[in-house]
Amino acid sequence: MTTISILFPLTSLASAATVDTSYNDCASEGSSRASSGLAHFSVGIVGVNGGSDWTKNSCLGDETHHFDHYALYVNTNYPSDGCHTAENRTDAYNCGYDLGLFDVGYAASQGAHANTWFEDVEGGPGTGIPWATDSLDSSFLWGLEGALEARGATTIGFYSTPSQWQNITGGWHSGNDGWYATGVEGMPSSSTINNACHSKFTGGPVVYYQYIVGGLSSGLDYDGSCGGG
């Protein structure tokens, strides 16, 4: 498979429809049930993992193959099952770094290479996805970013919402690009889009807002461009 990577924001492709897809779209080992739908899109954001950190999306190679241009995203959580949990920022950073190496290594094994990666940051109090403390969580995410950069990524963003980002990182102003999860089914209202694109929850520009089309059974989430923030 010939792999093609992209840089965000997609200023030259701002009008192109973009979707994101991952492990939950697998019909069987290595094959995506969303394949027919993916054929209609040239730009995508593809999940490396199987829904949590240290896991693998068996359809990664198949899903990236459908796009002319794609970015990759990874699941995150700290404390992490894949490395020793410690109560200091250095160990949290190292845990994130190790996870990043795992993610890049698996992606490469599936022929997936991208300049742009997003870290999926979800959960926090009351969600069933517990994290640690603000300082440990942000150090973990920073370590993951460091590994991705060390392996060639040039742009690294965060997928989240302002409330989850605040709960998990304490509102860390990392300055990275943001990818905003609206949770809206159907095309969001102009006010929702405006709020999402100007939220700057990371302190950096929001480049995408995500919404759902056709319900969860469609297998695809759509992503509108904010034009770089």
pLDDT over threshold 50, residue 10: no
pLDDT band at 33 (very low <50, low <70, confident <90, very high): low
Task: Look over the chain and give the mean of its residue pLDDT values, rounded to a whole number.
Answer: 86
Closest by CA to 21, choosing from 62, 53, 82, 54, is 62
Residue 43: predicted pLDDT: 92
Q: Which residue ranges form the domains of the chain, and what is each CATH number?
A: 11-225 (3.20.20.80)
**Higher per-residue confidence, 32 vs 118:** 118
Residue 29: predicted pLDDT: 56
Instruction: Express each pLDDT in 169-201 by its tens digit.
Output: 999 999 999 999 999 988 999 999 999 999 999
pTM, rounded to two decimals? 0.89
Beta strand 206-212 pairing with 116-120: unpaired
Residue 216 half-sphere exposure, CB side, CA atoms within 13 Å? 2
pLDDT band at 112 (very low <50, low <70, confident <90, very high): very high
Phi-psi region of 86 (alpha: psi -120 to 50; beta: other; left: phi over 0): beta
Contact 25, 34 (CB under 8 A): yes
Residue 175 half-sphere exposure, CB side, CA atoms within 13 Å? 0
Instruction: Express each pLDDT in 84-101 by its tens digit.
Output: 666 799 999 999 999 999
- Cα of first residue to Cα of last residue in the chain, in angstroms, is 33
Query: Residue for token digits 């640690």?
Result: 132
Residue 229: predicted pLDDT: 46
pLDDT band at 40 (very low <50, low <70, confident <90, very high): confident
Residue 126: predicted pLDDT: 83
Residue 14: predicted pLDDT: 38
Distance separating alpha carbons of residues 49 and 56, to the nearest angstrom: 4
